[in-house]
Amino acid sequence: MNNKLIAAFIIVFLLLGFVIGVLINDIPFLSVSREVQLGAIIGSSITAFTTLVLAFSIPYLITKQLEDKKGIKQFLISEITLFTKELEKIKLKLEDCYKSGAIKNEDKMEINLLFEYLDKKVDSISEQLRFSYCDKSKDDIQELKDVNANFWKKITSGEFMSAKFVKITPEFWKSSFGSYCDCEMKVKMLAHKISKY
Amino acid sequence: MEIKDKIVISKDFTDTPGARFKSEGDFSGEEFLESILLPRFNKAVKEKYILLINLDNVWGYPSSFISGSFGILSTEKGKDLVLNHIKFESENKTKIEKFIEEIKNPQGK
């Protein structure tokens, strides 16, 4: 709640008090029992004040919390979008090499470096998920790690790094592309899961 | 056990790890295992200390390199012995997990 709103409330309540005071004095059908004790007046005032504070603060706090959660989710989903873009770079690099009919050592180094970067992104997303959604995110973090490791193994565990591997065969490309699609789909599903946290 | 030895792969071996076997090219996992990892690991076991391995500052690790070095070491010496005497350090946790996973479940086994 901003300061202007608080000031407005104070002014409205002061005016209201003034009007009620005038009415009690000037209009006969509105009267205050002179026997009412001071303790009862203070008690009623505190109750009224507490009710008003709760009535205004609870909706405000709930709205703020919901907005904060929405912001965190959107941020995490944008991190996952960045992850899929890095993932796509590996697919595009392999596709280029496949189409050009040759893969050089520099291309392999670049792909290895992209995997290295993906590991860092997995670290970053995992830490953020743990921080914001500790219990809910445990399985999803593991799935992200598994998906990332499976794609990395699929590309780099076989003949890929061999000096004799100088051309991407149709079989290697088909298998890599399938693995990429699987990985991309699972990572995108993770974004949907996060949106439902 | 305390750490008494350290291998920095990017400085002590290469920053461009290669394939699984020596026959497949330079800086293979097999070459790393035979020339650096195995002798230092054996010494660590014999003298009862931990060998620390720094994984940073390389152009990424191909799965075949890890399998050809740490995977074979684990197959030959046993995962428990390897995990007792080797610790990894890196700014990247996911990378360390890949090495530990290979030691626990060697691909070539």
- C-beta atoms of A112 and B63 within 8 A: no
- C-beta atoms of A112 and B18 within 8 A: no
A39-43, A44-48, B43-47, B105-109, range with greatest mean pLDDT: B43-47
State pTM to two decimals.
Answer: 0.78
Q: What pLDDT shows up at residue A180?
A: 95
Nearest CA distance, B60 vs chain A (angstrom): 5
Which pLDDT band holds residue A125 (cuts at 50, 70, 90)?
very high
Q: What is the mean pLDDT of chain B?
A: 95
Q: What pLDDT shows up at residue A16?
A: 83
- C-beta atoms of B92 and A149 within 8 A: no
Nearest to A110 by CA among B51, B62, B108, B28: B62
3-state secondary structure of B53: strand
b/e string for A97-135 if b means 16 or more Cβ within 10 A?
bbeeeebeeebbbbbbebbbbbbebbbebbebbeebbee
Query: Is residue B37 pLDDT above 70, yes or no?
Result: yes
Region of A194 on the Ramachandran plot (φ > 0 left; ψ -120 to 50 alpha; else beta): alpha
The residue among A29 and A137 whose pLDDT is bigger is A137
User: Which is it for the CA torsion A53, A58, A59, A62, positive or negative?
Assistant: positive
| Per-residue pLDDT tens digits for A86-124 | 999 999 999 999 999 999 999 999 999 999 999 999 999
Q: Contacts of residue B25 in chain A, CB cutoff 8 Å?
A: 161-163
- C-beta atoms of A153 and B63 within 8 A: yes
Query: Is residue A139 pLDDT above 60, yes or no?
Result: yes
| A-B Cβ pairs (cutoff 8 Å, strict) | 72
- C-beta atoms of B61 and A145 within 8 A: no
Q: Is A150 on the interface with B (CB under 8 A)?
A: no
Least confidently predicted of A9-13, A169-173, B30-34 = A9-13
**Sequence-distant contacts of A135-140: CB under 8 A, at least 24 apart:** A136/A197, A137/A194, A137/A197, A140/A190, A140/A193, A140/A194
Q: Is A146 on the interface with B (CB under 8 A)?
A: no
Query: Is residue A85 pLDDT above 60, yes or no?
Result: yes
Q: What pLDDT shows up at residue A34?
A: 64
* B interface test, pick of A104, A110, A119 with most B CB neighbours within 10 Å: A119
From A150, which residue of chain B is nearest by alpha-carbon distance?
Answer: B63
Q: What pLDDT shows up at residue B83?
A: 97
Q: Is A123 on the interface with B (CB under 8 A)?
A: yes
